Structures are given as structure tokens and as C-alpha cells.
Amino acid sequence: MKTRIILGSSSPYRRELFSRFKLPFEVIAAGIDELRHDDESPEMMVKRLAIEKAEAVMRENQIESGLIIGSDQTADLDGKLLGKPRDHAHAVEQLQACSGRQVTLYTALAVLNTQTGSLQYDVIPYWVEFRSLECATIERYLQAEQPYNCCGSLKVEGMGIALLKKLSGDDPTAIIGLPLIRLSEMLANEGVVIV
């Protein structure tokens, strides 16, 4: 019997990334409060949210047997968290703040086995260094890509890559929102073989 796999996310980017594994899966978005708690580090926040998303999907849909994948991401600019922009003006503000600076993206991953109660989780950091961005560059990018559903207004799988000077980290898919290297290890621990 095949293992039921559920991606607990409404993100089209995570859906596209997971489909690279060529495994059958379902998508069920979790409705949770994503606000940061007081004195919570970026790593702690995304870890908590990834776990809460997986648990909420299990609870709200009464899933008794399956693997639920939760994920969350935030961008940290010198201690200030950059989530998805509220609107165009906020996206401009985010990108102006990132101009010429390094941003750390934290992507959390949780895999919950609803039958055994096993929970695996990790937080994968990725560092991006922005070029110095002129206002006209930011405006052209935002008009072309409209990355309003992207953490920190950065859509690296599109034209956003041209805003960057340098990328560094262990898993390039983490920057898009679902660290496939770590996820493949977690799935293997649950008996799901990718290749």
C-alpha cells in the first residue's frame, strides 16, 4: 500500500518543487495564525509554524494515516523579519532595505507521520546578497514579476535572480520555500524512496 503524502501548503512554489519527486501527493492548506511570538527568533518561529501547519492539517482533516509536510519561511535582515509584502509600496520598501545587503532566508520543514506520531523537523538557512538596487530596477522587477506572495519580495526562480550578487547555502531549493535535499532524507526515514 502506498503512503499517503499531503503537502500542507497553499504555495504554488512548494507544489511545483514537490512535484519534482514524481510522487503522488495531495495539497491541503493549513489555516493557522502566522504571527511571530514575543522573543521568538526567526529560526524558532519558522520551525514552530511548519510544525503547526502539519498538525493543523492532520487535526482539521482527521487524517489518521499519512505523511503531512509543513513548511514556512522568513527572511531576516539584521534582525528584522521580511515576510510577504502587503502591497506594492511595501515590496518597494523591502527591496530598498535589502539593496547592497545580505539577507538570511530561514526555511523550516516538518514531516509528521499521523499513524506513528513521528515528527521530523529542521530549519535550513540560505544566504542571499543583493546588488545595489536603483529605484528604476526595483520598479521594473516588481511590474514584471509581481512577487507579492514571495517572502521579502524575492522571486529567485524568476527575474529576482538578477537582483542578487551572491547566493550561499546547502540546498538551493530552500530559497524557493521547500528544501528538497532535507525533505528527501526525511521521506526516506519514513520508507518513501524517491529514486
Q: Which residues are catalytic?
A: 72
> What is d(CA 9, CA 7) in angstroms, rounded to the nearest whole number?
6
| Longest pairwise C-alpha distance within the chain | 55
Residue 2 CB coordination number (10 Å): 7
Q: Which sign does the torsion angle of CA 20, 21, 25, 30 carry?
A: negative
Question: Are the C-beta atoms of residues 107 and 177 closer than 8 Å to each other?
Answer: yes
Grouping H, G, I as helix, E, B as strand and the rest as coil, residue 33 is coil
> Measuring CA to CA, which residue among 112, 122, 108 is closest to residue 49?
108
DSSP letter, residue 122: E
